Amino acid sequence: MENFRIILQKVNLKVTNARLGVLELFARSQKPIDAEEIFAYLQKEGVDADRATVYRMLETFYEKGIIDRFEFQEGKFRYELAGSDHHHLICEQCGRIEDISDCGINVLEREIKEKKGFLVKRHALEFFGVCESCQQ
Amino acid sequence: MENFRIILQKVNLKVTNARLGVLELFARSQKPIDAEEIFAYLQKEGVDADRATVYRMLETFYEKGIIDRFEFQEGKFRYELAGSDHHHLICEQCGRIEDISDCGINVLEREIKEKKGFLVKRHALEFFGVCESCQQ
DNA sequence: AACATATATGCAACTGAGTTGCAATTAGCA
DNA sequence: TGCTAATTGCAACTCAGTTGCATATATGTT
């Protein structure tokens, strides 16, 4: 997966093992992951990066727009590769996280600008509830 | 404001000075507040409650449905008196928090149930951007 | 009013997530 | 190969929140 190098070079970040490893994990992951999961993954892969390095990496990636950041009422952040405007269904019983795509909120954002003068840069929309299989 | 007593009694919570103080602060506050602000307020008012008490109180109130809980990408929770379905405009420059009322997302929730089988219990919707006065 | 008791609180120690300063290392360019 | 800014490791720290346990107190009952 050599395109990870390109992603990093595009935003003027040096290519390191730790960074490649983290990007690889992000590409594999189907749902938003947290710093601890990343740290554990790197250890397992023998990359051994310090926790501080992981946190600094996440901050850098976030600032550069490589990843998105979310909060699911857990008292910590989760991240995933930046991409389309999509949101999450978080099952409060099994913790499963499902995606839903574009929510038609752009209309609302335009309204907010007109009525309140507030310029929306981004929004967070998460749904908490019970997934299908937990309802049985 | 003796109706704070009634609020507490309704949900089988004992009436204490700390709890009355916190409810008073909530009633005064125009925007969601965090644990530290509550702790400082109580000290100022001479109620002196421990931080642990404040956190336990917030948890209890949240469980009982007296207050709502939010996250604004700050790495901590904010709370306000439970009420109508409304959301927030958070200015990333001055930190001002404005409310917007019902967002018409109930329609979307019904769709989610039909298409995904996921039962939405609650949702979080926050807009981050720049408020009118910070745009000048 | 006094009592019993479940509830609430204070204290202190702890956890988990994330941050910071600083010295050592390394990627990328000349 | 050597230079230099960017990156990392280490260790100590902060900040938000939690927990165990002993004490205190609000409230229903006598």
Q: Is the pLDDT of residue B2 over 70?
A: no
User: pLDDT tens digits for B45-71?
Assistant: 999 899 999 999 999 999 999 999 999
User: pLDDT tens digits for B14-55?
Assistant: 999 999 999 999 999 989 999 999 999 999 999 989 999 999
pLDDT at residue number B31: 92
pLDDT at residue number A2: 54
The residue ranges of every structural domain in chain B are: 3-81, 87-135
How many angstroms separate the CA of residue B34 from the nearest CA in chain A? 13
- Per-residue pLDDT, averaged over A84-96, amounts to 89
Residue type, B31: K
Q: Is the pLDDT of residue A38 over 60?
A: yes
pLDDT at residue number A84: 77
Least confident range of B7-11, B37-41, B43-47, B132-136: B132-136
Which of chain A's residues have a Cβ under 8 Å away from the Cβ of B89? 112, 116, 118, 120
pLDDT at residue number B107: 85
Q: What is the mean pLDDT of chain A?
A: 93
- Per-residue pLDDT, averaged over A77-90, amounts to 92
High-pLDDT (> 70) share of chain A, %:
99
CATH for the B87-135 domain, from 3.30.1490.190, 3.40.1210.10, 3.40.1190.10, 3.30.70.2660: 3.30.1490.190
Q: Is the pLDDT of residue A58 over 70?
A: yes
- Per-residue pLDDT, averaged over B76-87, amounts to 91
High-pLDDT (> 90) share of chain A, %:
83
CATH fold of the domain at A3-81: Arc Repressor Mutant, subunit A (1.10.10)
User: pLDDT tens digits for B82-126?
Assistant: 987 889 999 998 989 999 987 778 888 999 999 999 999 999 999
Interface of B with A (CB under 8 A): 69, 71, 73, 75-77, 89, 91-92, 98, 100, 103-105, 108-109, 112, 116-132, 135
pLDDT at residue number B20: 97
Q: Is the pLDDT of residue A46 over 60?
A: yes
How many angstroms separate the CA of residue B87 from the nearest CA in chain A? 10
Q: Looking at residue B74, what DSSP letter applies?
A: S
Q: Is the pLDDT of residue A126 over 60?
A: yes
The more confident residue out of A70 and A106 is A70
- Per-residue pLDDT, averaged over A10-14, amounts to 97
Distance CA B85, CA B89 (A): 14
B54's tokens: 């404040």
**From edge to edge, which strands make up the β-sheet containing B119-130?**
A97-100, A87-91, A119-130, B119-130, B87-91, B97-100
B129's tokens: 């951007």
Q: Is the pLDDT of residue A85 over 90?
A: no
Within chain A, residue ranges assigned H as helices are: 3-10, 17-28, 35-44, 51-64, 106-116
pLDDT at residue number A87: 92
pLDDT at residue number A78: 98
Q: Write the residue in A89, A108, A126 that is nearest to B118 by C-beta.
A: A89
Contacts 24+ apart (CB under 8 A), B102-108: B103/A108, B104/A108, B105/A125, B108/A103, B108/A104
B90 close to B124: Cβ distance less than 8 angstroms: no
The H-or-E segment that residue B3 falls in is: helix B3-10
The H-or-E segment that residue B108 falls in is: helix B106-116
